[in-house]
Homo-oligomer: A and B are copies of this chain.
Amino acid sequence: MRIEVICTGDEVLTGKIVNTNFSYITQKLEDFGLSVAQETTVGDDRDSLLAAFMLAGERADAVIVNGGLGPTVDDLSQEIAAKAAGVELVLNKEWLVTMEAFFTKRSRVMPPNNIKQAMLPAGAEVLDNPVGTACGFAVTIGRARFYFTPGVPRELRRMIEDQIVPRLLAKAGKQTTVFLKRFHSYGIGESHADTLLAGVEALAPDGSVKLGFRAHYPQLETKLTVRGTDMDDIRAKLAPVEAEVRKRYGNFILAEDDRTLEGVVLDELAKCTGTLAIVESFTSGQIAGRLMHLPGAEKRVRRGVVARDLEEICNAVRLVQVPDAITKEAAEAVARAALDETGATHALAVLIDLDEGADRIEFAGTVCLAIATADSVASRRSSIVGGRDWVRLGAVEMGLDCLRRYLQGLSVTERIDFEKA
């Protein structure tokens, strides 16, 4: 089955916005074993839209069109869809009622130009949009089934997942139950992960589990796409593969599915009714910045302190004996002092000794970090190379992940792929 995507809108065509809707659509389809063969971007222009619809209608079996369903004059998708399908635009009274209810619920009166959003090509199948006023719909143009979706990312996502993926899977004649299992890790590079997990797919019968990766430094996402007759079947197929991935990755799995590293850290702190103090240097507040604005963080993170100068760091946490250099021992002393100074149950100190001179690919930073509690301290020394930004991003993640490991009773010193030997 050939699937194409058409993205519409001057904002995307002129680069005013980066086209993240397309990468979302194609990734989501990949997660369900469906591949996009081609993507086309055109502006809010009748001729361009019509030409793009007609061409894709000749080439493809299914086409997802994104954008152009809004109430304003430059939103042309319904009009051109009708023209390409050779039918009239007609008022869909059900959608009009849905829209009016949408406004009433928000104590507003529907502006008259929203009526345009209920004008659909005659015979179109409605694709529900529970979170907005743009009505999704499907029509046939040429030999392809076209699925029209809204440009607002939140509305698009809901429609793709609930309405379009099931229709595409049915059209492709695939077993319609598909499940995506995700693992998040820090410290294993993509090619290492690929080697490490070699053969795990074979633990499930007849290729029903597919392995994939998505690297967004410093984290790596490992995806298992499972296809089956129903969720029981999927669970049975997934179980041995999932167990093997957990075994091979070991302590490197920092979260699964929709959970995040910072969420896991806050949850672990909540479990032990702990509170945290953070001391940073070159990470410049970005460790605190990942945690402290989250709902619930106000109960868990007492204080963050940032300074670039070791003496100033010591002043901030009332450490009288200023260490001579940035070492593991210095980080331990700073973390202990932060504990005393703030009254938190846990303190994380991440100190960084940076190379001198201009930014360059060999530019390195030595990260010395420590986590202290009333009766114990753990620490780690690690050198990260790759330029100022790379060092900073890596150190933020290493600080948070070591804290996660400490809170979960795991080693904080396991070697990672991103450090210099």
Chain B residues near A308 (CB, 8 Å)?
A: 292, 297-298, 301
Chain B, residue nearest A288 (CB): B285
A158 on the interface (CB 8 Å rule)?
no
Q: Is the pair A312, B303 in contact by a Cβ cutoff of 8 Å?
A: yes
CA of A288 to CA of B284, assembled, Å: 6
- From B16, B297, B306, B342, contact of A304 by CB (8 A): B306
Given A15-B30, A27-B14, A388-B293, CB of A285 within 8 Å of CB of B309:
no
Q: Name, among A24, A278, A298, A308, the residue most crowded by chain B CB atoms within 10 Å (CB to CB).
A: A308
Interface string of A355-384 (1 = CB under 8 A from B): 000010000000000000000000000000
Would you give the shortest CB distance from A289 to chain B, in whole angstroms?
Answer: 4
Chain B residues near A309 (CB, 8 Å)?
A: 298, 302
A152 on the interface (CB 8 Å rule)?
no
Would you give the shortest CB distance from A309 to chain B, in whole angstroms?
Answer: 7
Q: Which of A8-22 contact B (CB under 8 A)?
A: 13-20, 22
Chain B, residue nearest A291 (CB): B284
Would you give the shortest CB distance from A401 to chain B, in whole angstroms?
Answer: 18
CA of A288 to CA of B69, assembled, Å: 41
Q: Is the pair A15, B19 in contact by a Cβ cutoff of 8 Å?
A: no
A214 on the interface (CB 8 Å rule)?
yes
Residues of A within 8 A of B (CB): 13-20, 22-27, 30, 35-43, 48, 52, 55, 214, 278, 280, 282-289, 291-293, 295, 297-298, 301-309, 312, 315-316, 342, 359, 388, 392
Chain B residues near A292 (CB, 8 Å)?
A: 282, 284-285, 306, 308
Chain B residues near A284 (CB, 8 Å)?
A: 285, 288-289, 291-293, 297, 304
CA of A22 to CA of B16, assembled, Å: 11
Given A283-B293, A304-B307, A307-B302, CB of A14 within 8 Å of CB of B35:
yes
Would you give the shortest CB distance from A11 to chain B, in whole angstroms?
Answer: 10
The 4 closest A-B pairs by CB, nearest first: A285-B285, A285-B288, A284-B292, A15-B23
CA of A248 to CA of B308, assembled, Å: 39
Chain B, residue nearest A31 (CB): B15
Would you give the shortest CB distance from A160 to chain B, in whole angstroms?
Answer: 12
Chain B residues near A13 (CB, 8 Å)?
A: 26, 36, 38-39
Q: Is the pair A285, B282 in contact by a Cβ cutoff of 8 Å?
A: no
- From B48, B285, B307, B315, contact of A289 by CB (8 A): B285
CA of A22 to CA of B41, assembled, Å: 10
